[in-house]
Amino acid sequence: MRSIYDLTFNDLVEWTEMVGYKSYQAKQIYQWLYRHRVNDFDEMTDIAKDKREFLKSSFSMKNLTLVQKQVSKDKTIKYLLAFEDGSLNECVLMTYDYGKTICVSSQVGCNMGCSFCASGLLKKQRDLSAAEMVQQVLFVQKELDKEDERVSHVVIMGSGEPFDNYDNVMAFMRIINHDLGLAIGARHITVSTCGIVPFIYRFADEEVQYNLAISLHAPNDELRSSLMPINKAYPLNELMKAIKYYASKNNRRITFEYILLKGINDKSEHIKQLAQLIKGLNAYVNIIPYNQVDEHGFKKVDYHSAMIFYDGLMKAHVKCTLRQEHGSDIDAACGQLRAKHERNR
């Protein structure tokens, strides 16, 4: 049965019209789901009983179940959640001074095969539906409701490649962004891709205000192809062309993610190449400390060396930030907790 959380507001309006409900009822239902955050159709008290019964027979309203919760010293919380079919998924809540950010997964496993990433340790089993992504946000929001807090930012940077599940991810963003619902501002929602070029064009053409982040991690083709197989299909010149197209259609600043891997992509020549590559773009580089994944053998760069890299980029007139580490004491790398759990199963 289709989950009610799969429906965008427009889908719900269409459905209510189709079954002959008054048009304002879509609004009521949507608010019950996302403002009042009820767990059962019977809690929708201003919907007539026969209509609630009909809703029940048309849609499921199941939630995710909590398998494990890890809380780190810096208050980062990692949730291991199970979907209806028993698949496991991780999502992470991070607290910043500007608000609370949730990192959402978009697939079970991942097929992109990036050599440093824990998510790819388990091949893609399936895409997540829009509902399953919405449910991650709702699960965490319901936890936060107990403390009168709210999820203010969403990043689609958990396990999976969002542009390999494009339609569901777009529906998900529309659902959490809608004014009558969670109302998470488009500018507070970020989708991160390893660089599936045709979908960067498609995303650009949507002319939406969501943020785009690109997992770059290497400033030349040889190195990038050795780390990220996607670069063989869409090398840097094609990727940068797509990004320039996106930039021409959207006035949003682009983020380039760059994990520092010791002895691999952290040399001064890489700073020069990186500066050259993104010259002229309204962009910044987010330097990410590597979360060491046992299976991969890459080493993280110490803080001092990361600062040298950061300074080098600043001197080359590249805007950059050094990402604050979160949850390094709790299996923080995407897919790490799930991979561990699957091994133990």
Cα gap 190→323, rounded to integer Å: 15
Tell me whether residue 334 is one of the annotated catalytic residues: yes
Cα gap 156→107, rounded to integer Å: 10
For residue 311, the minimal CB distance to ligand SAH (Å) is 21
Q: What binding mask, one character per residue, do residues 291-310 give for ligand SAH by CB under 6 A, x or -?
A: x-x-----------------
Binding residue (CB under 6 A) for ligand SAH from 6, 161, 266, 331: 161
**Residue 116 lies near ligand SAH (rule: CB under 6 A):** yes
Q: How many CB atoms lie within 10 A of CB 75?
A: 12
Catalytic residue chosen out of the listed positions 110, 114, 320, 334: 334
**Residue 157 lies near ligand SAH (rule: CB under 6 A):** yes
Binding residue (CB under 6 A) for ligand SAH from 104, 194, 227, 239: 194
* Residue partners of 253: CB distance under 8 A and separation at least 6: 211, 282, 283, 284
Alpha carbon of residue 127 to chain centroid: 13
**Residue 203 lies near ligand SAH (rule: CB under 6 A):** no
**Residue for token digits 């807090």?**
149
Binding residue (CB under 6 A) for ligand SAH from 4, 285, 313, 333: 333
- Residue 91 identity (one-letter amino acid): C
Binding residue (CB under 6 A) for ligand SAH from 288, 306, 330, 337: 288
Tell me whether residue 103 is one of the annotated catalytic residues: no
**Residue 193 lies near ligand SAH (rule: CB under 6 A):** yes
Of the pair 12, 112, the CB lying nearest ligand SAH is at: 112
Cα gap 58→78, rounded to integer Å: 33
Alpha carbon of residue 314 to chain centroid: 27
**Residue 266 lies near ligand SAH (rule: CB under 6 A):** no
Whose CA is closest to 33, among 54, 58, 62, 53?
A: 62
**Residue 204 lies near ligand SAH (rule: CB under 6 A):** no
Strand order in the sheet with 77-82: 65-71, 77-82, 88-96, 99-103, 153-156, 189-193, 211-215, 254-260, 283-289, 320-322
Of the pair 135, 291, the CB lying nearest ligand SAH is at: 291
Binding site for ligand SAH (CB under 6 A): 112, 114, 116-118, 157, 161, 192-194, 215, 257, 259, 288, 290-291, 293, 333-334
Active site members: 90, 334
